[in-house]
Structures are given as C-alpha cells and as structure tokens.
Structure 1
Amino acid sequence: MDQYEYWLSALSISDRKKMMLHAYMKSAKGAYYIEETSLHRFQFLNETDRNTMSQAKKIWDLQGEYDGLVKKQIRLYTCFDPEYPKKLADIPDKPYALYVKGNLPDERLMSVAVVGARSCSRYGEKHAYEFAEFLSGHGVQIISGLARGIDGVSQRGALMGRGKTFAVLGSGADVCYPRENIGLYGDILEMGGGIISELPPGTQPRPYHFPKRNRIISGLSDLVLVMEAREKSGSLITADLALDQGRDVYALPGPVDSSLSMGCHQLIRQGAGILISPEMLLEELGISGGNLQEKKTEAKKMLESLENMVYSSVVLYPRNIGQIMDESGLSAQEVLETLVSLEIKGYIKEISKNYYIRV
C-alpha cells in the first residue's frame, strides 16, 4: 500500500465516492493527480467534495503521513486490495479502507461476533465470558468492539481460551477507547489478534462512529451472539445489520423482569437462535468438542475453598477490597491474604491501589 492510497482513504468524502474516483482513475495515484480544474467533470462530486480534495493536496505531506502510519505499525487495506476480507467485501456498504494493527481474522476459520450491553449484569458478564472462552478454545475467532461491559468481557474470555480476538473500534486504530481497556488492547495484539478501524489514525471516538462500525463487526463474522441488550440498544442495530448481511443471530435468554434481557427476548421472538450452552452452540456450528471444560474443572479444583470464595468475587472489571469483603463475607485479613495468594498464582492482578480484576 502506498502514500496515495493513504491520502485517498483519509479524505473526508464518502466511501462510495472514493471507490468511484479509484475506479475512474484506475488508482489512488491517478485520483491524486486530477487537475483541480478538471474536478468538475466528475458529476458525483459536489462543491464540498472538490474543495476537500483540493485542500487535502495542499496540506497533506504524502511521504511524511505515510511514514507516520508505518511508524505506528498500522497497515492499510482498501477494498481494491486482494487481502481485504472477503466476508466484508460482500456487504453492500463495505468500508473503503481498513486500518489494522496486528492481524485481520483468518478467513479459513469461523468468526463469531459477541455483542451486548455496556452496563451489563453479572449474569450477562458470566455467559459472555464463558461462551467466548469456550468457542475460542475450539478455534473460533471472536469479534467485538472493545467497549465496556459485554464486549470487553467476551474478548478477555477469548484470550483466556487461548484463541484470537479482533476489536473493531469507533476511533482510530491507535486510539484505545475506553482507556481503561488499554491492557486488553495490548493483550489482543500480543496474542496474535488485531485492532481494526475504518477511521484514520488519530481519530477520536464520537457517538456517531459506533453505530456505523457495527456493520464491520457483523460483516467480519459468520454469526452474531447478543448476550444482553435493552429494548433499544446498539446491539440490536448490530443484529439487524447481521440479518441484512445474511448472518445468523443468536440471543441469550434472561430473567423476564430484567430490562437488560428485553432486547434478547425480542430477537428470540423474531426468530433468533437461543443460546443455551457453549457446547450446544458448538455442536450447531458443526465443530467437534474437546476437553476444555475438563481443563477448567481441574484448574478450579486446584483453588482452595477460601481462594475460590474470593476468586468468585473478583470479576473482569475493577473491584476494591471492600466490595470483595461484602460479597465473600470474609474478614479484611482473610481477603487480603487470599488476594495475595491468588495474585502470586496468576489468577488475578491489582490494577491500582486495592483494586483487582481477573486475568
């Protein structure tokens, strides 16, 4: 990919118009060298588009900007690139370009999107983590959005299953949002996954970026799991996009009086698959099971009963010692001693003074 492709991909004009420019001029370089006086020949460009292109050529340092992209270890794939994901290329509103840190999903493997509420319940958190961990442990790639709640929990579960996960951001690929997930961001890259965005590097998160990026999450996936969703939520937007793209959608049933399950029940009522267990889903996907559950059971048995009580009170978002004491019913001394033991064994980590998360 060259500096001209980067210039065209970063232009503030629609993806459709970028594709048309590329097609008419045979390359991004051809589009760059269109004479300003000739831009009016392209009827699909309006006055704002023409001004945008003219200004971009004046202020854009071709080589310098491209060197900055390389320095950030971000690769660019346009929809004209043979390495552009085939699943994504088939959707009607595919992005003109993807900026990628790390890797793209392996198209030879199955990919499953896991989405849901940011303010999730312990119930949703538990099942998102377990489904992602189990599927990942059987070679399924997990796609999500690195957001708070279900997204981050499922991606952490995928890493614990020793598989790969890919985060599609509503910011530039070099901008971790929310910032509290910077550890997860790094772990995804370290484990061979990828950070993906259609937005140029340095782009800050904006509310309108997130609904748009959802089509990429579903587009990169073979099916979408909705773990928890309110009656009107971004997760339902992703589910609708998935159905439009020909992807299957599964939803997790929950308590009938929980507002966090209303969206899932609505999807099930409309014909979505019902998530009962990771094992059953794996069977429906036609993937043979393994002994991951047995390994998990063995690992759990290794924890002493006191450690088990404390460990069950530590979750995937930060909790302080007081919260752990309240939930476990143990004294401060018992909790502190057990936290130290669990941290030494690698089950948890202290991310700030007296705040702990699972690892």
Structure 2
Amino acid sequence: MAYEYWLACIRHVPARKKIMLRSEYTDASQIYYIEETRLYFTEYLSTKEAEAVIASRRIWDVEKNYRELCDKSISLVPYFHKGYPGRLKETADPPYALYVKGRLPDPARPAAAIVGARRCSAYGTGQTERFASRLAQAGVEIISGMALGIDGTGQRAALDAGGSTYAVLGCGADLCYPREHIGLYMDIQKHGGILSEHPPQTQPLRAYFPKRNRIISALADIVLVMEAREKSGSLITADAALEQGKDIYVLPGPVTSPLSRGCNNLIRQGAGILSSPDELLADMGIPVSSFGLKSDKNEKMLESPENMVYSCLGLCPKSMGQLAEETGLAPGELLERLVTLELKGYIKEISKNYYVRSNR
C-alpha cells in the first residue's frame, strides 16, 4: 500500500492515466522501479507526465510518507483495492484513490445525496432536517459535502436520527473545512466517514469543490436538491448525477424565492418532486413503517391554546402579528404559549419574533 500511496500522490498525471498504468502491473512497486526509458515509451503518457513519475521517485520516501499517512488515521483505498466503491468505479472519471477517515459507505445499503444552498432559508433547513432524519431512520446512508447550510444540516440530522453519513471534502481528509463544522467533522468519523480524493494537507481551493460533486452523486443511488439558486454548485452535482444515470429529486419552493429558482428549473426539466419522505422511500423500494410520524402525536400532547398556536405554524416563518391575528390570542398570552412551545422543542424562533415548527 505504501507504493500505491506514492502513485496516488504524483502530481500532473491524470487519474485515468494512473489507472491505465497501474493496470499493466501486479502492484504499484513495479512502477516505482520501472526503467525510465520504458516510461518514456509508454504511448499514453506524455513526456511531461513520464518526467513527473520519474521526478517523484527521486524525492519520495515511500515508507516514511506512508507511515505519516497511517499516523493521521487515514486509510488509503486505491482503484484496484477490493474495497474501492463499485458505484464510483462505474463512473467516467473515478479518482485513482480515496483517502478515508472513518469508513466507506456500505455498498449493501441504499444511499441518498443531499445537497443545497449554503445560505439557505428556514424552509429549506426544516425540510432538509425532515427528509434526512426520516431517510436515516429507514437505513438510508446520507452523502454530502459538509458545507455550511443544507449539506451540514442534512448530515447533522442524519446523525441525530441514529443514521450514517459520509462527507466528501474538497481538501485533504485531515482538514476540517469549513472550520465551523469541527464538531460535525469529528462525529461523522464515528458514524460514517470523511472522504477525499486529495492527499493529506491539500488546501481547500475553489477549483476542487465543483469536481468533488461527481463523487457525492456517484456514491448515492439518488440525489436530493433541497435549495439552489439559478447558478449553484448543487446544480453541478445534479448534472453529474444525470450523467451517471441517477434519479434526481427536488424540493419545490416559492416562485419568488431566488433560493428555489434552480430547484424549480430542475422540476421543469423533469426532476422528481419531494413532497414527503415516505413517498420518497416508497420510490426507493424501502418499506415505510410508522416510526417518526410525530405531527399528530405532538398535537395531542399539547394543551388546547398551545395546540392552536402550534397548528398555525409550519416551515415558513410567521411573525407574532400574524399569529395573533390567526389565533385571536392576546399578545401576552400568545408570547407565553410561544415560549412554552419553544422550551418543549416544538417550535424555533429563527429571528426576532418570527417562528417556525421544529422537526422533533
């Protein structure tokens, strides 16, 4: 594996050419010791690429560098390893190797990618929590990019529901990006995995993020786009999914919302519509049970005035003024009921005096 690590880290040689080169030998060590003239006469390698392989042998300490990789608790899974994801191997542009902290997705379990806007709305956040939680409870593994907004929300909801989730980073697997998600980064390693096609210490450059989206879609059976502007990285994931023959499901949103414009365009192009998690599970062929259905139970557990306030709320924010008009409650009593509901975890105040239901 030490020589596989050397081959994986060679710069200026595309992954597909590394795969072609490696397929000619029983292991990567044979490439390390190959004669220079033979590399120059390998017809699919350019002179610059052959020189890159040769130069790397002069500066690479095979055993030392591999030991440092292991010390970081990072596993290397090269293309020809039996553990390399079959879903990824079938794509047109698979990485030569994956760097993994934690574990890889289970090929025997269904998987869904959840992607969306970094600056998302309360509606998008709430629906992401709802779908990710329900899918995770049903045994679906959640794949995403651990970005701020929809990605991180979906992955946290999956973990809170007792499920597994996997984050594909646009940097080295040993780096937490964004830094605000350090807690999520640590938790994912315990209940899933941190994955990257980049060697350790690779910095999060802008160009790496659109490219990693093909891995997110490849590792999933379906892709859920929760919120996306007209030009969005989430749409790159959707395009990759289409090229890979994956089904795309989209959360519809208000026609006036810029955050839903990309989603609504995907619906016009024929994407599936996300209306309820149970309908999605049925589409995936997963039996739907009664777990997690809490809305009716919530309402029965609440006292009458609290139930009245709760029933007026949804995933779109409402102000105290709107709630007072709809419930007929005096401002003081309404505030008391809102505080009680928030303390019980049934609702959230997302900005001053604006409330939404929480997905308990």
Normalising to structure 1: TM-score of the pair?
0.83
Please give the secondary structure, in 1, of the residue aligned with 2:176.
coil
**What are the equivalent positions in structure 2 for 1:96-245 lying under 5 Å apart?**
96-190=96-190, 192-245=191-244
Q: CA offsets per residue over residues 224-278 of structure 1, 9 Å max, x none?
A: 0000011111111111110110100011100000111111111100100000011
Q: 1:85 and 1:284 mapped to 2: Cα distance? A: 24
**What are the equivalent positions in structure 2 for 1:266-305 lying under 5 Å apart?**
266-294=265-293
Q: 2:287 and 2:19 mapped to 1: Cα distance? A: 41
Equivalent in the alignment of 1:317: none
1:299 deviates by 7.7
1:297 deviates by 6.8
Equivalent in the alignment of 1:25: 25
1:48 deviates by 2.4
Aligned pair count reads: 333
Contact 1:166 1:194 in 2 (8 A): yes
Structure 2 counterpart of 1:141, which letter?
A: E
Q: 1:63 and 1:139 mapped to 2: Cα distance? A: 40
Please give the secondary structure, in 2, of the residue aligned with 1:216.
helix
Equivalent in the alignment of 2:86: 86
Please give the secondary structure, in 2, of the residue aligned with 1:25.
coil
Contact 2:101 2:194 in 1 (8 A): yes
Please give the secondary structure, in 2, of the residue aligned with 1:291.
coil
1:78 deviates by 1.3
1:43 deviates by 2.4
Contact 2:16 2:94 in 1 (8 A): no
Please give the secondary structure, in 1, of the residue aligned with 2:255.
coil
Please give the secondary structure, in 2, of the residue aligned with 1:142.
strand
Q: CA offsets per residue over residues 299-324 of structure 1, 9 Å max, x none?
A: 89889999xx9xxxxxxxxxxxxxxx
Structure 2 counterpart of 1:200, which letter?
A: P
Q: 2:46 and 2:220 mapped to 1: Cα distance? A: 35
Larger radius of gyration: 2
Normalising to structure 2: TM-score of the pair?
0.83
Please give the secondary structure, in 1, of the residue aligned with 2:132.
helix
5+ residue gaps, structure 2 = 310-319, 324-330, 349-358
Equivalent in the alignment of 1:59: 59
Contact 1:22 1:30 in 2 (8 A): no
1:54 deviates by 2.1
Q: Do the aligned partners of residues 74 and 274 (structure 1) sit closer, same or farther apart at CA in structure 2, a change above 3 Å counting? A: same
Q: CA offsets per residue over residues 56-91 of structure 1, 9 Å max, x none?
A: 112211111111111111111111111111111111
1:295 deviates by 5.6
Equivalent in the alignment of 1:265: 264
Q: 1:250 and 1:233 mapped to 2: Cα distance? A: 16
Contact 2:2 2:63 in 1 (8 A): yes
1:8 deviates by 0.3
Q: CA offsets per residue over residues 15-67 of structure 1, 9 Å max, x none?
A: 01111211223321111111234321112222322232222112211111111
Please give the secondary structure, in 1, of the residue aligned with 2:147.
coil
- Asked whether 1:246 is paired with 2:245, we answer yes
Q: 2:209 and 2:259 mapped to 1: Cα distance? A: 20
Q: Do the aligned partners of residues 55 and 286 (structure 1) sit closer, same or farther apart at CA in structure 2, a change above 3 Å counting? A: same
5+ residue gaps, structure 1 = 310-324, 349-357
Q: 2:251 and 2:132 mapped to 1: Cα distance? A: 13
Q: 1:55 and 1:296 mapped to 2: Cα distance? A: 63
| Regions of 4+ moved over 4 Å | 295-306
Give the fraction of aligned pairs with identical amino acids, expressed as a percent.
52
Q: 1:179 and 1:303 mapped to 2: Cα distance? A: 39
Please give the secondary structure, in 1, of the residue aligned with 2:204.
coil
Please give the secondary structure, in 1, of the residue aligned with 2:114.
strand
Q: Do the aligned partners of residues 70 and 298 (structure 1) sit closer, same or farther apart at CA in structure 2, a change above 3 Å counting? A: farther
Contact 2:170 2:204 in 1 (8 A): yes
